[in-house]
């Protein structure tokens, strides 16, 4: 009975996590991937930071058949580019949705069926806010921060960078034309995620990409 007005209402204590369903599915994805020895990277950035270009170059340089889940609100443009680079790809169009969730990834995994000991790239929806909250079951989180976006992005979008295992500072070939403070950018990332690694790359010229490949082939264990 309601303690306030004596009516028949009743309060039921739930103490349940709101994202419990997503977290359960993410744990299932993580088990599924671990059983096959698949390394799954959740690749996040703002739109236009160079996620697809980085994946194209990575696949071509390493000669690896990557399995790729492409998340975009609309179109299969990125899936076509990735497919042309020789990768197996599934496009997810989220429509009004601003991020991928664990259920979408579970569906895509069934369709992609990545081979044992392979690399799965999950290219999240271009957005520095919403994808940060949703565990997909990935092995590691990689955030691309491109220098054309400005060096204040870690400070402005802290949730995204606080959960990053690796930050790739992309488009470094454009640094001579920009007022971008690499030291300030790195210091802000370290304040948010002391354990995060930072690598400077250009997916267009290939500069620094060897460090990314070394990381990818031997990523640190997640804490």
Partner 1 sequence: MHELAIVEGVVDQVTTRLPEARIRSVRLEIGALSGVVPDALRFCFDLATEGTTMEGASLEITEMPGRCRCRSCGGEFSPEGLILLCPCGSADVEVLSGQELKIASVGVA
Residues near partner 1, by CB under 8 A: 2, 8-22, 97-99, 101, 129-130, 132-134, 155, 158-159, 162, 190-192, 194
CB-CB contact of 123 with 70 (8 Å): yes
Looking at the Cβ atoms of 96 and 116, the one nearer to partner 1 is: 96
The dihedral formed by the CA atoms of 129, 130, 132 and 135, expressed in degrees to the nearest 10:
180
Least distance to partner 1, CB of residue 162, Å = 7
Rounded distance between C-alpha atoms, residue 47 and residue 125, angstroms: 8
Beta bridge partners of 42: 122, 141
Looking at the Cβ atoms of 18 and 117, the one nearer to partner 1 is: 18
Count of residues in the chain = 223
Least distance to partner 1, CB of residue 78, Å = 21
Looking at the Cβ atoms of 15 and 74, the one nearer to partner 1 is: 15
- Element (H or E) spanning 62, and its range? helix 51-62
Least distance to partner 1, CB of residue 18, Å = 4
Looking at the Cβ atoms of 67 and 145, the one nearer to partner 1 is: 145
Looking at the Cβ atoms of 26 and 39, the one nearer to partner 1 is: 26
**Residue 98, token pair as written in the block:** 């601003």
Rounded distance between C-alpha atoms, residue 176 and residue 222, angstroms: 35
Least distance to partner 1, CB of residue 101, Å = 7
Rounded distance between C-alpha atoms, residue 83 and residue 75, angstroms: 14
Q: How far is CA 177 from CA 1, 56, 148, 180, in A?
A: 69, 25, 9, 9
Least distance to partner 1, CB of residue 39, Å = 26
Rounded distance between C-alpha atoms, residue 145 and residue 166, angstroms: 10
- Element (H or E) spanning 191, and its range? helix 182-192
Looking at the Cβ atoms of 102 and 108, the one nearer to partner 1 is: 102
Least distance to partner 1, CB of residue 179, Å = 23
């Amino acid at each position: 009975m309601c303690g306030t007005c004596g009516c028949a209402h009743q309060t039921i204590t739930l103490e349940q996590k709101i994202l419990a369903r997503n977290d359960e599915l993410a744990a299932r994805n993580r088990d599924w991937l671990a059983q096959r020895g698949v390394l799954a990277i959740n690749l996040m950035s703002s739109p236009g930071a160079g996620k697809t270009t980085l994946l194209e170059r990575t696949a071509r340089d390493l000669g690896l058949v990557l399995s790729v889940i492409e998340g975009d609100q609309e179109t299969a443009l990125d899936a076509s580019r990735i497919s042309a680079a020789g990768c197996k790809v599934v496009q997810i169009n989220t429509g009004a949705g601003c991020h991928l969730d664990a259920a979408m990834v579970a569906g895509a995994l069934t369709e992609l069926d990545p081979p044992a000991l392979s690399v799965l790239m999950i290219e999240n929806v271009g957005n520095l806010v919403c994808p940060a909250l949703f565990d997909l079951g990935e092995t590691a989180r990689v955030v691309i921060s491109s220098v054309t976006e400005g060096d204040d992005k870690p400070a402005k979008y802290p949730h995204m960078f606080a959960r990053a295992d690796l930050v790739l500072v992309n488009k470094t070939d454009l640094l001579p034309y920009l007022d971008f403070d690499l030291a300030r950018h790195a210091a802000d990332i370290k304040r948010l995620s002391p354990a995060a690694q930072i690598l400077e790359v250009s997916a267009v010229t290939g500069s620094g990409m060897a460090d990314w490949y070394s990381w990818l082939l031997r990523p640190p264990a997640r804490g």
